[in-house]
Amino acid sequence: MLAQRMMWIVWPAFLVAGVLEVVVFAMFDPQDMQWFGQPVEMSRQGIYTLSFFAFWIITGGSSALTTLLSMSPFETNRCPMVPTERPDGCPKQESCCEQPV
């Protein structure tokens, strides 16, 4: 299930990063870019690469947040421990359901 969720995050982020790359650099020339008033001393290909990964990380964060918010309450509140190892006060502990004799 974790691999499936990772693909829900990474694949759409990859596609949107590619689209953003095309849109941004269709309007801006990397050689005209400046960083703190100084021209960027990188090749065009280097700027394309770094910006693609920056776009991918940003859109990946957006996809991860969407995946997190789409989880059901059961998935969010589920206790990962087996019932006998759960601490006191944890719901569905086996000892809480036994009737005194």
What is the rounded distance in angstroms from the CA atom of residue 37 to the CA atom of residue 56?
26
Name the percent of the chain lying above pLDDT 70: 86
What is the rounded distance in angstroms from the CA atom of residue 51 to the CA atom of residue 66?
23
Q: Whole domain around residue 70: which residue ranges?
A: 2-97
pLDDT digits (tens, 9 = 90+) for 53-101: 999 999 999 999 988 888 887 777 777 777 777 777 676 655 545 545 4
Provide the number of structural domains found in the chain.
1
What is the rounded distance in angstroms from the CA atom of residue 1 to the CA atom of residue 67?
12
Average pLDDT, whole number, for the chain?
Answer: 83
**Cβ contact 7:67 at 8 Å:** no
